[in-house]
Structures are given as structure tokens and as C-alpha cells.
Amino acid sequence: MFKFISKTITPLYFRGYLYLWIGMVTVGIATMMQMTARGYLAYELTNSASKLTYVNVAFAFPMLSLSLFGGALSDRLDKQKIIQIGQFAAASLGFLIAAIIFSNYINWLHLLAVSFVQGGIWAFMVPSRHSFIAELVPRKNLSSAIALNSAGFNVSNLIAPAVSGLIYGLAGPGVVYSIIGGLALTGVFFTFIIKPEMRMGDDVPGSNKSEKKEIATYYLHMGNLSFNNGDRVEAEKYYRDALNLTLEVGDK
């Protein structure tokens, strides 16, 4: 059990991935909250199931049709910038809808338009996010990083709709959309603080001397834990990685 957990959470030790993961989770929660609130609000404004369907389809259509272009764009431009722009746009749209709600000018067509734009944002942001993960963790930890990414998204799916519905019922849609904007801005912040030195090559756990020292210390700590739990094979792997990194830092 210890071995499984330690391997699963290892990518979170790499600061670049940790910041990206926190940003992804907060924006994921914001998105799922918005989907819930948008559905309630669209039906509340129109009392029409068909118009509610239009609002929801408006999100799905650009996300499906533009994903190929989003993947091609992520190969040509800086992935971090694409993610930041997408998160900032999501925050801006959240605050925009909140302002329209508080001004009592909200119309279901506003929700339709914003839903369509958000679908386009996700079509470009998701491919960049997935490929950016490979730049933030060593190749041997990539599968665990992808699993953590999926776990964070699934947790968002479980928690966000209930939270959104509760706040919607207690404080109204304007407050929900204000919180959505704040969560998306939090994602912008965590993506922004990912520094270039936190990126790495295919199998290099860290791209500068200080980070390699941190990771070597972490491997040594994990080796001690594995040894104390009786897993000497796993301990030897961690000790070997720590030694290799220490020697590499010493050569520079």
C-alpha cells in the first residue's frame, strides 16, 4: 500500500507539476460549478428545456470541433502561455456573467454566447495542458502524473456540482459566478509561477542544480521509508537515483 501511494504522489514533488495540478484542479472546479449554475439559470430564465439544451450544446460543439486545431497550436506555441490565456479568459467570463446578473440584465442568450466561447477555450487549453505535463515530470513518472491529473478532474466532477447547487440556492447565481471567476484567477496564478527552470528533459528530474539537490534529498527520504517498510528493492532504486543526481550536481 505504501509503495503504491508513494509512486502515485511522486509527481507532486516536482514543483512545476504541483503548480500546474493545483491550477488545473481549481479551474476544473470552476468549470463544473459553472456548468451546474448555467443549467439552473438558463432554465430559470426561460422555463424551456429546449433552450437549456442549446446552452449546453453550445459548449460541446466548439470543444469537439476545434480540438484538432488546439493540438496543432500547442505544438507550435508556448503551452504555458496558452493555458494562462485560457484560464484568464475563463475568469473574465465568470466575472462578466456575475456583473450582468447583479445588474439584472441577464438573458439566456448571454449564457449561450459565453458557453460557446468557453467550449472554444477548452478546445485549445486541454491539449496544451496534457502535453505540458510531459515537460514538468521525468518520463518514468509520466503515467503517475497523468493519473493524478485524471484524479483531480474526477474529484472536481464529484464536488463542484454539489457546492455550486448549494451556493446557488443560498446566495444566488451572481455569487456562484463570482466564485467561479475567483477560482479561475487562482489557476492563472499557479500556472504563472511555473518558472522555466522547473521544466525538464526526457529523463532529467530537474533542470538546475538547486532543484536536483531537492529531488536527490527526496529520493533519499523515500529510500529510507522503503527500507524501514522492508522493501529493500525499492529502497535501492531510490538510493541509486539519489546517488546519481548527487554525482551529477557535483560534476557541474
Local confidence band at 67 (pLDDT 50, 70, 90 cut-offs): confident
Q: Give the model's pLDDT for residue 63.
A: 85
Residue 175 pLDDT > 50, yes or no? Answer: yes
Residue 140 pLDDT > 90, yes or no? Answer: no
Q: Give the model's pLDDT for residue 229.
A: 58
Q: Give the model's pLDDT for residue 203.
A: 37
Select from 4, 7, 251 the least CA-distant residue to 137.
Answer: 7
Residue 71 pLDDT > 50, yes or no? Answer: yes
Q: Give the model's pLDDT for residue 95.
A: 97
Q: Angle between the 49-65 and 108-133 helix axes, to the nearest 10 degrees?
A: 30
Mean pLDDT of the chain: 83
Q: Give the model's pLDDT for residue 209.
A: 54
Average confidence (pLDDT) over 218-242: 57
Please give the angle made by the CA atoms of 187, 193 and 196, to the nearest 5 degrees: 130
Residue 206 pLDDT > 50, yes or no? Answer: no
Q: Are 23 and 191 in contact (CB under 8 A)?
A: yes
Pull the grid cell for residue 156: 472536481
Residue 199 pLDDT > 60, yes or no? Answer: yes
Residue 102 pLDDT > 60, yes or no? Answer: yes
Residue 201 pLDDT > 70, yes or no? Answer: no
Select from 159, 141, 27, 7 the least CA-distant residue to 89.
Answer: 27
Average confidence (pLDDT) over 226-233: 55
Q: Give the model's pLDDT for residue 226.
A: 55
How many other β-carbons are positioned within 10 Å of the β-carbon of residue 138?
A: 20
Q: Write the pLDDT tens digit of every residue in 23-66.
A: 999 999 999 999 999 999 999 999 999 999 999 999 988 988 88
Q: Highest-confidence range of 132-136, 172-176, 209-213, by mean pLDDT? A: 172-176
Matching residue, cell 484542479? 25
Q: Which residue has the higher pLDDT, 136 or 250?
A: 136
Please give the angle made by the CA atoms of 166, 168 and 174, to the nearest 5 degrees: 145
pTM: predicted TM-score of the whole model, two decimal places: 0.77
Q: Which phi and psi (to 5°) does residue 4 adopt?
A: -65, -45
Instruction: Give the span between the Cα atoms of 234 and 7, in whole angstroms.
Output: 10
Select from 67, 97, 81, 64 the least CA-distant residue to 196.
Answer: 81
Average confidence (pLDDT) over 212-230: 58
